[in-house]
Amino acid sequence: MANKLPTETRVQILNMLCEGVSMRGISRVTGVSTNTIDKLLVDAGLVCARFHDENVRGVKCKRVQADEIWSFVYAKQKNVAKATAAPENAGDVWTWTAIDSDSKLIISYLIGGRDAEYANEFMDDLHQRLADKVQLTTDGHSVYPDAVGGAFGRNVNYAQLVKIYGAAPTRGEQRYSPAVCLGAKKKRVIGRPNQDHISTSHVERQNLSMRMHMRRFTRLTNAHSKKFQNHCHMISLYTVWYNFVRINSAVKMSPAMACGLSPRLWEMSDIVALIDSAAATPKPRGPYKKKATALIQNSN
């Protein structure tokens, strides 16, 4: 049997990953090599993506907010052409998220581009995970109306919150500040959305949580994902941790408990148990048996 880290060490590493600590920082604290941490992240990301896909379904909620958050892999898009040995998926990466406004549950997420193709796939996935007709709010991104209409048809109350920004600062330290929001316009698109609940505040707060809890999302540092696959694995781990392990201060329990998807608060050891369970599952038998038999027959 291959050597593996003790459960306590793996719990510590995964907790540190979800608290915004870099891989090198975790290595210095735990004494575990970055290669081993990377392997644990891959294992955790795979089982968490599968768990979310299979279990976050039939979500009963009334109001959903959706948004996209920017990050990059290896290099920013403008620098990819001159980057040394840039991988195929280098450049800007967008993470689409949809949350339940009441329980704060991350219902659906998608990682990739910011075009209509990704918007369609994202809304199709969101629709499949919902149990009831909801009120949906997004920002003013132009690809949303067609994507929402294609996925939900008329079975949704959908509105866009279109924010109006002033000119972005260009001088000194101010150039790192966002443009000033001058106002917002509520735009009804499908159905009869309640004007009082047309908001993206909760999903935008979730964007901040992602930047705080995943080091590779931190702005104005050298922390970023070197591989697109690891970027996806970290987001998958974070999503299950956020939904099932972390107590949300707004609902005083985990979002999964608030939404009725889990009867108890998880611990990070439960995610480690998912990893061990997946590793213990027998894999399909490969062709090595046939090859060995053929060699024996030829030798005779």
CA atoms within 13 A on the CB side of 29: 15
Q: Which residues contact 208 (CB under 8 A, 6 or more apart)?
A: none
Q: Would you state the pLDDT for residue 3?
A: 64
Other Cβ atoms less than 10 A from the Cβ of 113: the count is 15
Query: Position 208: which residue type?
Result: L
**Distance from first CA to last CA of the chain, Å, rounded?**
33
* Tokens 């509105």 sit on residue: 159
Distance CA(179)–CA(167), nearest Å, equals 6
Phi-psi label, residue 146: left if phi above 0, alpha if psi -120 to 50, beta otherwise: alpha
Strand pairing partners for 65? 99, 137
- How many CB atoms sit inside 10 A of residue 162's CB? 14
Q: What is the pLDDT of residue 299?
A: 42
The pTM score is: 0.87
**Residue that the structure tokens 């329980």 belong to:** 103
In a structure prediction context, what are the per-residue pLDDT tens digits for the chain, which is 300 residues long?
A: 356 899 999 999 999 999 999 999 999 999 999 999 999 999 999 999 999 999 999 999 999 999 999 999 888 888 888 888 887 888 889 999 999 999 999 999 999 999 999 999 999 999 999 999 999 999 999 999 999 999 999 999 999 999 887 776 666 555 556 677 767 899 999 999 999 999 999 999 999 999 999 988 887 777 788 889 999 999 999 999 999 999 999 999 999 999 999 999 999 999 999 999 998 766 555 554 444 444 444 444
pLDDT of residue 293: 40
Q: What stretches of the chain adopt beta strand conformation (E)?
A: 63-73, 91-100, 106-112, 135-139, 157-165, 181-190
Give residue 280's identity as a one-letter amino acid code. A
CA dist., res. 164 & res. 127, Å (int)? 29
| pLDDT score, position 168 | 66
pLDDT given at position 176: 57
Which pLDDT score, from 0 to 100, does residue 296 have? Answer: 40
